Chains A and B, each alone.
Chain A
Amino acid sequence: MGDWLSEVANWWFAAVALAMGYAAYRVVTSANVVHAVLALVATLGGSAVLFLLLGAEFVVWTVVLVYIGAVIVLFLFGIMITRAPLGYEAELDHPPKTKALAAIVAGAMFLLIGWTLVDAFGTEEVTASVTTVGDIGLQLFGRFVLPFEVVSLVLLAALIGGIVLARQDPVDIEDQR
């Protein structure tokens, strides 16, 4: 433990992990929808710092740009459009009985994964090695070019699907006239 504390990166990790844990807790418990979204921003920002500690620079910027930039904005739109209650709202969650069941299931999952991890990896060391954008680019357009294209198709399908789903039915628009 002394060794662990002597490393500066670990202090960073501890601070960020605590903040992330609290923020994630707020995501799932906050009674205010906007607060929950902002807590998710904090969690994702924390994960970006962790990626930085691990030397994954490109992932850091992607998380910041795509997640924190785009996805969160999408969420805020979703909240506004669906007129989700913006203030505090008791009705956001299920009754305590359901909550208890959910907590048991989630807790069981955490214990299971945690036990497995400790059993498997113990105190294995990990050291950060910086991966440059160039390295990622070479791999992405070399070995991973096919999955990359497939993902772009997924995005296209999602784009079209989003439009088809969210647009108003022509009949409805006619009716409104």
Chain B
Amino acid sequence: MILNQFLILGAFLFSLGMYGVLVRRNAVLVLLSVELMLAAVNINLVAFDAYLRDAIAGGQIFALFVITVAAAEVGIGLAIVLLIFRNRQSANVDEMDLMKL
């Protein structure tokens, strides 16, 4: 196994996630794409951990932290989506434009 096969797969998934974040209108799907990006990052972290033969397993532990933070992010994100949905009967991100003055 060469290192780059993992890294490039990670890069590919990351870019796909990025595409998804940009094109999706439904907020739930945007969050889904963010998860995809985070999964790609995890592949990178674990691949580097194996490549560097890290004695303190830093890559794996950071992958675990990413998973944890992602779980928190999904929880908060979905709560926000739920709140918006309750107020506006829609979960489309392009209708959330109140930040415009």
Chain A residues proximal to chain B, CB less than 8 Å: 4, 7, 9-10, 13, 17, 20-21, 24-25, 27-28, 33, 36-37, 40, 43-44, 47, 50-51, 53-56, 58-59, 62-63, 66-67, 70-71, 74-75, 77-79, 81-84, 91-94, 98-99, 101-103, 105-107, 109-110, 113-114, 117-118, 121-129, 131, 135-136, 139-140, 143-144, 147, 151, 154-155, 157-159, 161-163, 165-166, 168
Contacts and interface: CB of A to CB of B under 8 A. Distances in A.
Contacts of A140: 61, 64
A125 B3 contact: yes
A50 B29 contact: no
A109 B22 CA distance: 13
Q: Which of B17, B19, B27, B28 has the most CB of A within 10 A?
A: B19
Chain B interface extent, by class: 35 or more
A67 to B, nearest CB: 6
Nearest to A4: B2
Contacts of B22: 94, 98, 101-102, 105-106
Where chain A touches its partner, the secondary structure class is helix
Contacts of A99: 23
